[in-house]
Structure 1
Amino acid sequence: MSTENNKIESKMSTENNKMESKMSTEQEIINMLLFKNKELENQLEGIQHRNKELEKQVESSKMTIKRLTLEASKLGKAISVGLGDNDLNNVCQLKEDIKILKENLEHFSIIRPAKDFDIIKNRAENLLKQYKCTIFINDEHYKSLLQAAIQRYILESAIKYIEDCFSNPEHLVYSELEAQIVRNTDTLLNVMGVFAKSREGSDDVTPTLPIKLRQLIYSVLDNRGFNPIASPEGTIEHPFISRIQEVLIHMANMFRIVIEPTKMKSFDDTAIKLARDIIKIFFFRLKVQEQMAGPPVWFEYNDRVNPDLMEGAFDPGHCQDAVVQICTFPLICINLENDEKRKILSKANVHIKRLSI
């Protein structure tokens, strides 16, 4: 019995030892897992911290990109001298407005039908001689050339008159503010041009600044120059526009007497529009272009017809034996002397004659 008990106790002791060993091993595994878990938690915290740092860097980068984009946009606007499609001064819109000016000028110079107008013949003949138009096929041809000569005289004289008012301080009573802006702009552009060439440095803005300044200032003049004047009592027509209106009507009526009263009202309205459009196109809008057009080119009597530069009632393919009889609207062109870079804003309008005539 005692031997049997000893065996049982020994067996139980052995089992207990095995269980304790097993429990010790399991505890070691648990401890190892807890340690690994702590390591992973520490790694996770590190990753989360780095993620926050990266998020801050991303936000900082976004702000930097936004700032640089804004600065690049501002710089692009500062150095860009091109005109967008929606800009009223882009080439396509300018060409269309020149076309309208031609049509209004032609309407303003009419001397037909005979029931509505009397021609002042001595002045008419002197005007035609001035432009060397002395040979006429018939009476209709005579009136056509006279109307063309009146149209030429009105536009050419109006441009000269406006130039004189801008350049002569004695005439500033009618155009003081706008004329001062024009003169001061010319002075500023000249000074900035000298500055850009004579001072060392490298940037994108300075070389284009004179062009950009010119475009901005003349664009403002085009938008508001010689517009009706605001006052507490209301708006009144700009006195310079009214003065040019008077000059235009006087020039046209030097050669004709308007019999039909309703025509006179139409001419008064057209003269106002002509006055404003002549100023804005020839003195403001041409200077808004990146590259300015040269002076208007008036082709003279007996100049060879060039369909690349002229238009009128002739077939461009059959004008080899034709010459100019009178030019009614000048050529407006950029880089006239350079065939490759030439850009025509408006062809000259001409009446032609065949060399056999």
Structure 2
Amino acid sequence: MKEVDYIVVGCGLASIAFCEQLRAHKKSFMVYDNNSQKSSIVAAGLYNPVILKRFSEVWKAKEQLDIALPVYKKIEVDLNIKIDHKLQLLRRFASVEEQNLWFSAADKPKLEPFLSTDLIKNTNTCIDAPFGFGEVLHAGRLDTVTLIEAYKNYIKTIGAFKEIEFEYHKLQINAADIQYEDIKAKHIVFAEGFGVKNNPFFNHIPLNGTKGEVLTVKAPKLKLNFAIKSSVFIIPLGNDLYTVGSTYNWEDKSNKPTSEAKNELIKKLKTFIKCKFDIVSHVAGIRPTVKDRRPLVGKHPQHNNLYVLNGLGTRGVMIAPYIADKLFKFIEAKEALDNEIDIRRFN
């Protein structure tokens, strides 16, 4: 029987962020993951502190970035990888009215640090942007694929990863600990994304999966070294490759890419890109979204050693380290969770 402080189920952004809390505080752990959830892998990885459709602040944007960026920097150093790519992010204006709305938003105290007041003119002949761009400050792209692959390899080397399906019926819950097969732990944290719908301990939480699909395209003539948000995002990856996304489907709960979403992305991309591009890949995943657009964090109503870390939605790169920090302090230091992230708000 091997004894650890924590069992963690899932190995996406939420799980990795929580494991980093455990590593920082010298807590032992075992991670279980079967690669069934794809939302972290297919995510574009863009982090930005502004809702660009309405020119409004992302919930707790500064607090999230202040916690997230040092976490990713530490992972880069510890694992000798590059995952955090600073990236200029431009919002394409569709009209003079949008320009005016942007500058009005930039005067608001919470948005002033994140919105540049310089109007950027378009100089790329492959882009249609007669009204120019506004620049979002403190944005970037996290390479989620490299992060997850490298992190799994790392925790394998320290004997803290089992790449198998977690079978809930095998979990034995005691007053002071829990036991799963040959592992005994003080606590278990479920960070499974949309997979929590199959979890008998937390399938009551109101998680609404939202399917998202993204394309990778190759456009040799585009020569874009910044990201653009218009009717879709286009994000440079290097070597003339770009991520294009994303779609939103509230009905389909499969990870299978669809021709409808592909055609939608192509149609929207062609509204502002005027050069030829070829589709290299097309992937889909289910985002763990919540109706009030806040994470789902907290303790099981009956079992004091079962916890959930979920509901990252479309901004997992920013939110994951923030809520992992909150959950760790809740468990280890008995610090109360904010009502707006605590699962008890839905009781």
Structure exhibiting the larger radius of gyration computed from Cα positions: 1
TM over 0.5: no
More helix by share: 1
| TM-score bracket for the superposition, by shorter chain length | under 0.3
